[in-house]
Amino acid sequence: MRIEFDEKLDFSDVLIRPKRSTLASRKEVDLQREYTFKHSKQTWKGIPIMAANMDGVGTITLAKSLQEHGLFTCLVKSYSVQDITKQSNVLNPEHFAVSTGTSKRDFESLKETLQLNPAIKFICIDVANGYSEHFGAFVQKVRETYPSHVIIAGNVVTADMTQELILRGADIVKVGIGPGSVCTTRIQTGVGYPQLSAIIECADAAHGLGAHIISDGGCTCPGDVAKAFGAGADFVMLGGMFAGHDEGGGQVITEYHNTHQRNQVTHEPIYKELKFVEFYGMSSSTAMIKHHGEVAEYRSSEGRTVKIPYKGQVETTIKDILGGIRSTCTYVGAPTLKQLSKCTTFIRVHRQYNDVFVNSKH
């Protein structure tokens, strides 16, 4: 047994220090990035924010909305070959990835999807624990079969495994174990790594090899997305922040909550109408039962099922996130998203914001 005493940080442990800036307005900030990927040599241009391959988030409908704004979607694994093929004329291959697990059946289905849809450019090989030898071997097999596709692989949280996956053929490594909004891995297993430090360490390892990383999980507000970019993430993946919208396809649940107030004339109790959408982790019992019919006996659920406020159309959320990051850039004097990381100085804090009225919203 060993203990590392180096302090590791989460988004909530830091703030970004403002700096003198010559930028007159947020309008001047360019959020587009251009990347050339290490192995595939493919180039990409867009706003490097991604929807996670989770139910209610990584849907074809959400992908259509995000691509209009230059953002990206990792589609859920459960789409069939036919589902994806039918949408091939409306989905822009620059802005989505098909997701796959690592079983023999997954590989067969990936091959079929790519054969029928030669325009697909991005493959996301996604497992909860990217540390297994089997996973590395699978990434290598996909790279050998598809030399010019962009391969995303994860999840890991340390520099050594980031390098290993890149050497096995990943262009982009997905970083994050346990930070997710509906993740219970840290509770169920005690395993994890504070996300900000994971980004800093994995980005350093990937950039040294000419590859890229995605910060996956843990962003709760636009400020966290800005911190992830500031820490060196090339892409930021969001689950919870993109959940609860019309485009996710979840059922809207309407509830009437007693306000404990009465109408002054009729003295009837006043109820407030609240709308929610169910959201769950992809390793939750809800997801396992939905996709596999049962929770296998040898494993436990590592995800939560929650009810989150219904948020309407995703367009408003996209504008809110992009507006926040543009503003971060103006605070630190970064005319482009590319420069945000160079302009970022994090300061260690013990209080992020004043929450005195957080629960007093109308």
Interacting residues toward ligand 5GP by CB under 6 A: 52, 54, 128, 155, 176, 180-183, 185, 216-219, 237-241, 281-284, 302-303
- Is residue 211 within 8 A of residue 166, CB to CB? The reply is yes
Token pair of 314 as six digits: 């995703």
Token pair of 127 as six digits: 């497992």
Angle between helix axes 195-208 and 159-168 (nearest 10 degrees) is 40
Q: Shortest approach of ligand 5GP to residue 125 CB, angstroms?
A: 13
Q: Shortest approach of ligand 5GP to residue 23 CB, angstroms?
A: 29
Q: Shortest approach of ligand 5GP to residue 191 CB, angstroms?
A: 9
- Is residue 117 within 8 A of residue 62, CB to CB? The reply is no
Residue 354, preceding peptide bond in cis (omega within 30° of 0): no
Question: With respect to ligand 5GP, which residue has the nearer C-beta, 286 or 330?
Answer: 286
- Is residue 337 within 8 A of residue 32, CB to CB? The reply is yes
Catalytic residue status for 221 = no
Q: Shortest approach of ligand 5GP to residue 140 CB, angstroms?
A: 22
- Is residue 216 within 8 A of residue 200, CB to CB? The reply is no
Question: With respect to ligand 5GP, which residue has the nearer C-beta, 324 or 333?
Answer: 324
E strands of 246-329, at which residues? 252-262, 269-280, 305-309
Q: List Cβ neighbours of 174 (8 Å cut-off, separation of 6 or more).
A: 124, 126, 130, 152, 153, 154, 155, 156, 213, 214, 216, 237
Token pair of 156 as six digits: 């890991």
Q: Shortest approach of ligand 5GP to residue 11 CB, angstroms?
A: 10
Question: With respect to ligand 5GP, which residue has the nearer C-beta, 194 or 330?
Answer: 194
Torsions phi, psi for 143 (to 5 deg) = -60, -40
Q: Shortest approach of ligand 5GP to residue 62 CB, angstroms?
A: 14
Question: With respect to ligand 5GP, which residue has the nearer C-beta, 185 or 330?
Answer: 185
Question: Angle at the Cα of 14 (from 10 to 16), degrees rounded to 5?
Answer: 130
Find the catalytic residue in 74, 124, 183, 329.
183
Question: With respect to ligand 5GP, which residue has the nearer C-beta, 65 or 330?
Answer: 65
Q: Residue 68's closest CA among 319, 335, 338?
A: 319
Question: With respect to ligand 5GP, which residue has the nearer C-beta, 59 or 283?
Answer: 283
Q: Which residues are annotated as catalytic?
A: 183
